[in-house]
Structure 1
């Protein structure tokens, strides 16, 4: 049976970024429809807490910045995240495995309680799902795929044809359905993309020593290896970026052999790696949409850009996208203008495209700098890291920007001024 539905905003994708956008628009007065192709079943914070030990840790975690925490607080999800499970980290230790260069960032130097939080992706998504399901202006449809997307009419309204037979007319469609976004493709937006030449292995491991509430990152000759602390102080989530051949060889090892190889690569900074959960591997590609917006359309998060995970900024960039787009839409609604027009939506594109491109270029630069066997760049990067570690004002400025305490941030991401 075919239905004809009118709505203001359709968000395709019920991941962290799409749900954050919906939650930020709770008081906008707009009618919102979220489409998710998977079957998902939100649970309460209490039910999640009761089942977390049986389920173990999600291998996918994010290092959420202070700015992302602020966005999720405004979205009404952070309080529930705190009730479930998170890990504030107080320091970051980064060193060059091919030399002597090292740098340490510590929250005490900034007079902050922590540098950020390690949060499992499913925790953030659960909190956001429960938040949007409480919103009167929001409807969530699961196990539904977008099949067709029309060109915009004179009012920038688009028609969507869904896999369940529904036909929807929406004033704006937002692609939040990931790096291989079908919605972005249907909107006719192309991508710049290239292969990093890295695969990433992710899992949860148990170490002999405590994780010390510290994020650890060693640059190896094949790529960066990160240990991210979890609330159980002897557990860490790892992201090991390396060559495809090396990743294949590592995935073929049994658990004992993998733990031994991981310990050696990490220089056993936390003692022996004693145990590993199931391992997952995926190729790394950089992608960037040639444009973020059209009339009645916007792309956010991984649907607009993906970067190397070596600095853990991917989800944070997506949450900043959600905040900037929410502000653009709210400002348009408040001012009584055509908020879904390409002219108005370009405000969002201007705010985010340059920031995302700059971060992508920075990650590419880091990858190239640490992926060379030339002795001169090695000497420069080692001496540069060691020098930077002694320049407290410069070092603290860098970490403040990485934390989202300064820089060109959306209004919704700025922490309230302390009294």
Structure 2
């Protein structure tokens, strides 16, 4: 039976990044993924799932050797972030405020996954079990027996990067705290009459925000938050009918649009009660899901991966076992407070801007008005959102 140091379940962006990050430390890695990633054709339509990759995440992907494989002709650099409710309180954040050339990139999730898979396939110490899936885990004192569909393997640790409905988290009986926001979000890929812009923006309405995420060649991804019933209704419309609804509901910054694709999902918050339990470690959405208001989900996941890599590197450098309980707790201690702070911050914004009181509305707009003129405080907030210390 083949033995590994770490078995990673889930080969998406976070799982693949974990495999590369720990493989770089010389550990023997098993990566278990149900679906073989399919290649992208140069002219295929943009995927619905895109991520706002922060500067910090871009730099991490560069250190892993993956960023060089991102096709930047299919990604969009953005330099500005606009936020407003009433026009007088429009607030804009610019990369110049933090001394950077840009704030981040809009990149298709699939591109990032494929770039990471190109890297991990070059590592002789990373074995891919794909397509394959986990059937059972049996824990022993020093190792785990892991039964896959294809065969059985042994591993010192099992790392869960298998998403919000993590099978590993459930098998480990790790509980969750969280709630359903009672809203859904719709993703809409559009072609705009305007040229590609260097700004991503978000406008708040009583029914929820609407957002614009720029993509290359006059394309964009729109995000529309609303009640579950309304998003269900919108999902049933034809693309032409939906384009008409978008024109009525979104700011006139879009110009004429053509809807190319759409999808929807419910908004929930979930936070694992433990990131580590015995020989099980949670990363990314398996550990936490966040309100997508500021697009921080995948960026928090990459921070998890980096923190785990650093905890393991420190232990190995000091001649300690990478799977020692203190090492694993150091990872959780490094990540839980930051994740919780970001989750709570997004919830605070969501709750403040969804409150119907005219007094609260005035206060929040005055707050936006003041933040536009907040100088260093504004710059520090922007730097934190970009992952810059």
Tell me, yes or no, if structure 1 residue 39 matches structure 2 residue 36. yes
Q: Secondary structure at the match of 1:179?
A: coil
Of 136, 141, 149, the match for 1:154: 141
Q: Is the 8 A contact 2:98 2:382 kept in 1?
A: no
Whether 2:231 is the aligned partner of 1:247: answer: yes
Picking from 256, 270, 288, the partner of 2:254 is 270
**1:211 to partner: Cα distance:** 4.1
Q: Distance between the aligned counterparts of 1:56 and 1:202, measured in 2?
A: 14
> Which of the numbers 134, 139, 142 marks the counterpart of 2:130?
142
Tell me which residue corresponds to 1:5: 2
SS of the residue corresponding to residue 52 of structure 1 reads: coil
Q: Distance in 1 between matches of 2:174 and 2:153?
A: 21
Q: Which SS does the other structure have where 1:136 is aligned?
A: coil
The number of equivalent residue pairs is 389
**Alignment equivalent of 2:274, drawn from 284, 291, 295:** 291
- Matching residue of 1:17: 14
Q: Helix, strand or coil for the counterpart of 2:106?
A: strand
Number of the residue aligned with 1:177:
162
Alignment partner of 1:86 is 2:54 = no
- Partner residue, 2:54: 65
Report 1:18-417 matches (<5 A): 18-41=15-38, 43=39, 48=40, 51-53=41-43, 55-82=44-71, 85-96=74-85, 100-151=88-139, 153-155=140-142, 157-164=143-150, 166-232=151-217, 234-272=218-256, 274-406=257-389
Contact 1:5 1:168 in 2 (8 A): yes
What secondary structure sits across from 1:365 in the alignment?
A: helix
Q: Deviations over 1:328-384 (max 9, x none)?
A: 122222222222133320000000011111111111111111111111110100011
User: Would you say the 8 A contact 1:149–1:159 is kept in 2?
Assistant: yes
- Runs of at least 4 residues off by over 4 Å: none
- In structure 2, C-alpha distance between the alignment counterparts of 1:20 and 1:295, rounded to whole Å: 23
For residue 254 of structure 1, report the CA deviation from its aligned partner: 2.1
Separation (CA, whole Å) in 1 of partners of 2:72 and 2:264: 30
Give 1:74 deviation, angstroms: 0.8
Structure 1 unaligned spans of 5+: 407-419
State the SS of the aligned residue for 1:150: strand
Does the 8 Å CA contact 2:196/2:216 hold for their aligned counterparts?
Answer: no
Structure 1 Cα separation of the partners of residues 191 and 205 of structure 2: 21
* Structure 2: runs of 5+ lacking an equivalent: none
| Partner SS, residue 83 of structure 2 | strand
1:96 is displaced (CA, Å) by 0.8
1:323 & 1:149 partners in 2: Cα distance? 26
What's the CA shift for 1:39? 3.0
Decide whether the 8 Å contact of 1:294 with 1:342 is kept in 2: no
Cα distance change of structure 1 residues 290 and 249 upon mapping to structure 2, 3 Å threshold: same
Deviations 1:200-239 (A, max 9, x none): 111211222234211011112111211111121x211112
- The secondary structure found in structure 1 opposite 2:111 is helix
Residues 297 and 340 of structure 1 are in contact (CA less than 8 Å); yes or no, is this contact kept in structure 2? no
The CA deviation at 1:84 is 5.9
Equivalent residues of 1:149, 1:187 under 8 A apart: no
Residue by residue, what CA displacement relative to the aligned partner does 1:233-274 show, whole Å, maximum 9, x if unpaired? x211112121101101211222222112212222211212x2
